[in-house]
Structure 1
Amino acid sequence: MAHLLGAEALHLEYPTRVVFDSVTVGVEEGDRIGIVGRNGDGKSSLLAMLGGLIEPQAGRVTRRGGVRFGMLSQSDDLDPAATVGYAIVGDRPEHEWAGDAQVRDVIGGLVSDVPWDAVIGSLSGGQRRRVALAVLLIGEWDVIALDEPTNHLDVEGITWLAEHVKNRWAKNSGALLVITHDRWFLDEVCTETWEVHDGIVEPFEGGYAAYVLQRVERDRMAAATEAKRQNLMRKELAWLRRGAPARTSKPKFRIEVANQLIEDVPPVRNPIELQRLAVARLGKDVIDLEDASVRYGDRAVLRDVTWRIAPGERTGILGANGSGKSTLLGLIAGTVQAATGRVKRGRTVRLGTLDQQFSQLADISGDRVREVLGRTKTTFTIDGKDLTPAQLLERLGFAREHLSSRVGELSGGQKRRLQLLLLLLSEPNLIALDEPTNDVDSDMLAAMEDLLDSWPGTLIVVSHDRYLLERVTDQQYAILDGRLRHLPGGVDEYLRLRAADHAGAPPPAAARAAEPAGTVSARRSGAEERSARKELVATERRLARLAERIDTLHQQLAGHEQSDYTGLAQLTDELRGVEAEQGALEERWFELSELLD
């Protein structure tokens, strides 16, 4: 593949530390690279050096002649006095940009709900971020670099962005560099992962799932100091294989290798035991919403919501921005009052909330972290082991040297760690998390999920991070047109419902202007989809039976008389035949899964 962009022997340091030392990387045509690592380890600095925004102290960045490089950083240079329309399409005539399919796609996917004539300076932070992303994506680029592009995007927006970057260039052309903590996006889009850690950039083949597998293999051979990290990632891999098999359809590794690595790892959660403990702590009554409605002025935000929250329930809440998710959490917490209907709370409920504004830390911003921990309970039990608050904070990836820092001086990710720790130490039996993935990296997310796996209580999570929702919750609900709807099909069902809703609704003004006459969307027929789904179910059943047969054959081979060469040969031949059939069915399962995505 043709070379597009490269960096040789990059060295970058600040007065307090060396960020990179002799880093060499290359980007070629067709590369789709996800960049992961802990907050503060240099991901954004690496992207800024490749984009020419930061000059390294040593080394050089090279580009092939004529390569067009576009970048979305974490801040924008939009003119606050310009309108949204002018920022995106400039002074191009309407008939010109409206006839451009890429411009129409970007407008519809990112800013269809943003007033076309609104002034940039009047927009919210999230709207402004989406406009900046739209400005970038309507341009023609050979390389696009995105720094946290999924921030301020809801599930639909993230899904649209994934499809856009997958289809933006022809196969084996163009290149994408993306920093994101959204692990679903990494898995969906990226074919290579760069991990930034300890002053180096370590490449891995595949998206997040493949990265997890390879990192487990690396850590298994590492020194004993890596043991904690290794066990955590093995648990993550176990969930990837057992809980969401579609995630392993893209990485280029053999399924049996992954199964061998996780064969001694128990399931991430024991739902029966957790529910038993939850009932013991909560009783049978948690919170009941009965025909509850909330209005702000003339606008009905929630309508006739009925929901009986059960002890041990682990529920994710989906919804577009402004649909009423935080209002629903407010009803549960008692900070929002229902205009009509009833909210009944169990007498034993102790609610703990984690909000987006770090409000729990406001009163202790001047205290040192060690002082805050000194006022908490002495131990916390996780997986049968008693941990001190400092040990628990270390498990969440908090460095010991930061224990002397004042709370108000911590970074966003460090505040989120401390906020979660204090929440757990307050011993609630009902936890409500409102966008808990903000400001945290993938390692912190995995550690947080690990703690929540063994937490015996009721969990309500509002998030646009579909990986997190699928990982820590057992069911999902959505707020659609002010009503709460159960989603047996999870996030995919929510996206189908939203797509159907959009298809039946008139397009917004900007989209109407951008849509030329005669535009027809090509869709797979309902009959084809039903046929594929039916075959997928049959394939899954057949794979389950083959797995049982393979286990039986392995047991027979282990217990067979070793001198019976004929019998051993027959069992071995049968095993090979069954494994071959299993491999072919797995390939077909992957094809069907891709077809139905």
Structure 2
Amino acid sequence: MANLLSAERISLMLGTRHILDEVSLGIGGGDRIGVVGRNGGGKSTLLRVLQGDQAVDSGRVTRVGSLTIGVLSQVDTLPAGATVADAVLGDRAEHEWAGDSRIRDVLNGLLGGLEFAGLGGPDAVVGPLSGGERRRISLARLLIDDPDLLLLDEPTNHLDVEGVQWLADFLVQRRTRPDSAVVTITHDRWFLDAISTFTWEVIQGRVESYEGGYAAYVLAKAERTRVAAVTQERQDNLLRKELAWLQRGAPARTSKPKFRIEAANQLIEREPPPRDDVALARFATTRLGKDVIDLLDATVQLGDRTILDKQTWRLAPGERTGIVGVNGAGKSTLLRAISGEVPLSAGKRKVGKTVELAYLSQEVRELERLLGMSVIDAITEVRSFTMLDGKEISASQLAKRLGFDGPRQQVRVSALSGGERRRLQLLRLLMQEPNVLLLDEPTNDLDIETLTSMEDVLDGWAGTLLVVSHDRYLLERMCDRQLALMGDGQIRELPGGVEQYLALRHDQHQEVERRTARTSKAAAAQPPSPAAGDPSSYSPAQQREARKELARVERALARLTEREKRLHDQMLDAATDHEQTTSLSGQLREVHDEKERLELAWLEAAEIAD
């Protein structure tokens, strides 16, 4: 396949840094390329060069004549005064976009459907929206415009697990054409694996190309590193022999070392598991005892939303749990309730006597008072030594493991990047020697190399770990147990991991669609009233109450749907027990009757809320 874009021996200096050093590369039709590398290593600059927005010092970039390029940068360029509909759809007529299944797919996947329900409606103004909402609008507009070459800089930022899955499916299924290509910078390793046909690593002015996604990149890089080490050892042996000849005359006979070249997967097969779960759990129990933190019959409310509804959850010593859920489901609020920062509306929170809790929030304001300190001073302010992997290590050693080498440890906190400040936050927490660690989106602003370093450090940390993240790879790598918040006030166990969560969300969407269809059918069967569909016939207070009622009914319906599923499963298990089957059938009829009553209540509230 001919290249859509080619770069020949391009070089670029920014200040005293060599960002690109005689780099040659090509992007072919159908390519989906993931770009990885350290923060500040030149990934975003490379995208600007490919776009044509950044001139190079030497070399050239050529593009096929008719090539259209679309860019998702990390700079927000949306006009603040535009409406959501204008920002996403431009001047397209309604019949043009409403009848296009691809556009409808984008709107449903990123923006809450044709009515932009998640953004306040099509006429909502862009200016007051959050940064994450504006970024999703920019991504949706780009996918709808459908240029030949997509250049995406961190497209998964502000997307939940479900959104990342949708974007990966869209790029693979909708965008794989002989005349189109995608180049994306991302630290989401699951996303890289899901979409990439090639992986580029930007490193020390070079762009190294690897075939396949993240897993293939790691395997190939491990093999390249091993071969390079063998080559270096051969060179060292030759140098030593040459020195010996110069010192002693004719060299003595020596046997040549023999090296056995093995496939990269064999290298990994010999590697031990990342952590000894049994040993860590035993050590965690000695530090924590049997009691950690228990939520007993707990209810947590945030405004008029119920995050937890009479839930009991007991954290075990050494437990490593990942929490997933849609944006706005209350994951961060749940962590704050566990930490004691958010009080329970009902129920009880019990904390073990030996618990030492540390909480990595999404904010970095806690570093503001340390801006004048050096990195190492900000760490040693907490403690100079700590225990990890059963060994005592210094603050400097731990800092080095998380990417702060010797010179970087002397830099002032005020000069650190966002990713470095995030690392410093985690370092300070670990130096406190907590035995319960709560991490809220720990991957924010971190590159892949730093993420793997963080995982390596936490592999040797003994304690109870709770992680809220949309990074699917991190959840599966660090956590032995996964839970979901589905928006109905319940904590759902996920034995099948994120795959099970996505299946549950799919079923939830289908149930909402079926309920909406039944409601529409019931509404069509009723004679219209003079005030039907006329919002002006209801006061703002009535409409607010109706919206609250809608939310309450939808939560109740979700709980009934789950109960209905459990009853069906129980009936299958008790198929040969006539008495129990009869009892379960009666319970199922009660559930159906209650659902019908709630659906009518939903219809009545919807007429007022609209």
Aligned-partner residue type, residue 114 of structure 1 = L
What is the one-letter code of the residue matched to 1:471? R
Conservation of the 8 A alpha-carbon contact between 2:8 and 2:59: yes
Match of 2:67 in 1: 67
Q: Which amino acid aligns with 1:296?
A: L
Of residues 478, 493, 498 in structure 1, which corresponds to 2:484? 478
Say if 2:401 and 2:457, in contact at 8 Å, map to a contact too. Answer: no
**CA displacement 1:114-136 (0-9 Å, x = unmatched):** 22221110101110000000010
SS in 2 for 1:503: helix
CA shift at 1:169, angstroms?
A: 3.2
Q: 1:349 aligns with which of 325, 332, 355?
A: 355
- Deviations 1:243-291 (Å, cap 9, x if unpaired)? xxxxxxxxxxxxx934421243211121111110000000100000012
Question: Is the CA contact (8 Å cut-off) linking 1:9 and 1:22 kept in structure 2?
Answer: yes
Contact 1:154 1:321 in 2 (8 A): yes
1:52-100, CA deviations, whole angstroms, 9 ceiling, x for partnerless residues? 1211122221101101111111113211101111111123221121001
Answer yes or no: is the 8 Å Cα contact 1:219–1:226 preserved in 2: no
Which sections of structure 1, spanning at least 5 residues, go unmatched? 228-255, 510-597
The answer to whether the aligner puts 1:5 opposite 2:5 as a matched pair is: yes
Q: Which amino acid aligns with 1:139?
A: D
Q: CA deviation at 1:305?
A: 2.0
Instruction: Kindly state the Cα deviation for residue 383 of structure 1 after the two structures are TM-superposed.
Output: 3.4
- Over residues 23-64 of structure 1, what are the superposed CA-to-partner deviations in whole Å (9 max), with x where a residue is unaligned? 111101111110000000000000011011211122221101
Alpha-carbon displacement from aligned partner over 1:159-188 (angstroms, at most 9, x marks no partner): 000000001234544111000000000000
Q: Quick check: 2:383–2:431 contact (8 Å CA) kept in 1?
A: yes
1:359 Cα deviation (Å)? 3.5
Residue in 2 that maps onto 1:498: 505
Partner residue, 2:191 = 185
Structure 1 equivalent of residue 388 of structure 2 = 382
Residue 412 (str. 1) matches residue 392 (str. 2): no
Higher relative contact order (CA 8 A, sep 6+): 1
The CA deviation at 1:424 is: 0.8
Partner of 1:289: 295
For residue 228 of structure 2, give the secondary structure of its aligned residue in structure 1: coil
CA 213–140 in structure 1, closer or farther in 2 if over 3 Å, else same = same
Deviations 1:388-428 (A, max 9, x none): 21121111122322222211220011111211111111100
Alignment partner of 1:118: what SS? coil
Using the TM superposition, give the Cα deviation of residue 22 of structure 1 relative to its aligned residue in structure 2, in angstroms: 1.1
Could you tell me how far apart the structure 2 residues matched to 1:492 and 1:129 are?
26
Which residue in 2 is equivalent to 1:363?
A: 369
Paired position in structure 2 for 1:196: 202
Listed as ranges, the gaps of 5+ residues in structure 2 are 113-117, 234-261, 517-610
Could you tell me which of 114, 117, 127 is aligned with 2:119?
Answer: 114
Per-residue CA shift, 1:465-486, capped at 9, x if unaligned? 0100000000100011221111
* DSSP-derived class of the 2:52 partner: coil
Could you give the per-residue CA deviations for residues 516-535 of structure 1, whole angstroms, max 9, x where no partner exists? xxxxxxxxxxxxxxxxxxxx
| Larger of the two Rg values belongs to structure | 2
Q: Distance in 1 between matches of 2:178 and 2:328?
A: 39
Residue equivalent to 1:273? 279
Q: Cα 1:170–1:360, aligned 2, differ >3 Å: closer, same or farther?
A: closer
Q: CA deviation at 1:506?
A: 4.1
* 3-state secondary structure, aligned to 1:222: helix
1:309 paired to 2:315: yes
Equivalent-residue separation in structure 2 for 1:346 and 1:93 (angstroms): 61
State the Cα distance separating 1:440 from its structure 2 match. Answer: 0.4
Q: Say if 2:222 and 2:264, in contact at 8 Å, map to a contact too.
A: no
Q: What is aligned with 1:537?
A: none
Partner of residue 207 from structure 1, selected from 197, 208, 213: 213
- Alpha-carbon separation, structure 2, partners of 1:99 and 1:281: 61
Q: Give, in angstroms, the shift of residue 376 of structure 1.
A: 4.0
* Matching of residues 147-296 of structure 1 within 5 Å: 147-223=153-229, 257-296=263-302
User: In structure 1, the residue corresponding to 2:192 is in which secondary structure?
Assistant: helix
Q: Distance in 2 between matches of 1:190 and 1:170?
A: 11
Are positions 1:339 and 2:345 aligned together?
yes
| Contact 1:327-1:336 within 8 A present in 2 as well | yes
The answer on whether the counterparts of 2:29 and 2:177 sit within 8 Å (CA) in structure 1 is no
1:55 aligns with 2:60: no
The corresponding residue for 1:16 is 16
Instruction: Give aligned-pair identity as a percent.
Output: 54
How far is 1:296 from its partner?
Answer: 2.7
Structure 1 residues 124 and 225: CA distance shift in structure 2, 3 A: farther
Quote the residue 1:81 is aligned against. Answer: 81
- What's the offset of the Cα at 1:387? 2.6
Please state how far the C-alpha of 1:224 moved relative to its aligned partner: 9.9
**Residue number in structure 1 paired with 2:449:** 443
- Cα contact 1:324–1:482 (8 A) shared by 2: no
- Please say if residues 35 and 196 of structure 1, whose CA atoms lie closer than 8 Å, have aligned partners that are also in contact: yes
Give SS of 2:119's match. Answer: coil
SS of the residue corresponding to residue 145 of structure 2 reads coil
Residue 397 of structure 1 corresponds to 403
- Displacement of 1:111 in angstroms is 0.6
Q: Secondary structure at the match of 1:122?
A: coil
Paired position in structure 2 for 1:573: none
Aligned match of 1:298: 304
1:68 alignment partner AA:
T
User: Counterparts of 1:305 and 1:316 in 2: how far apart (Å)?
Assistant: 17
Give 3-state SS (helix, strand or coil) of 1:128's partner.
helix
In structure 2, relative to structure 1, the CA distance for the partners of 1:226 and 1:448 (3 Å cut) is farther
Is 2:336 the counterpart of 1:330?
yes
In 2, Cα distance between equivalents of 1:421 and 1:431: 12
- Pairwise CA RMSD: 2.1
Pairing partner for 2:458 from 452, 464, 471: 452
Give the drift of 1:225: 13
Q: Secondary structure at the match of 2:354?
A: coil
Q: Which residue of 2 aligns with 1:233?
A: none
Query: Matches of 2:95 and 2:511 in 1, distance apart?
Result: 25
Instruction: Tell me by how many angstroms 1:373 deviates.
Output: 3.3
Q: What is residue 242 of structure 2 aligned with on the other side? A: none
Q: What's the secondary structure of 2:183's corresponding residue? A: strand
TM-score by length of 1: 0.78
CA distance in 2 between counterparts of 1:439 and 1:192 reads 23
- Work out the CA distance in 2 between the residues paired with 1:30 and 1:273: 47
Distance 2:514 2:482 in 1: 28
Partner of 2:32: 32
The answer to whether the 8 Å contact 2:7/2:59 transfers is yes
1:568 — aligned with what?
A: none
| Structure 1, 147-156 or 373-382: larger mean CA deviation | 373-382
**Displacement, 1:382?**
3.4
| Greater CA drift, 38-47 or 134-143 | 134-143
Residue range with higher mean Cα deviation, 62-71 or 363-372: 363-372
Distance in structure 1 (CA, Å) of the matches to 2:190 and 2:484: 19
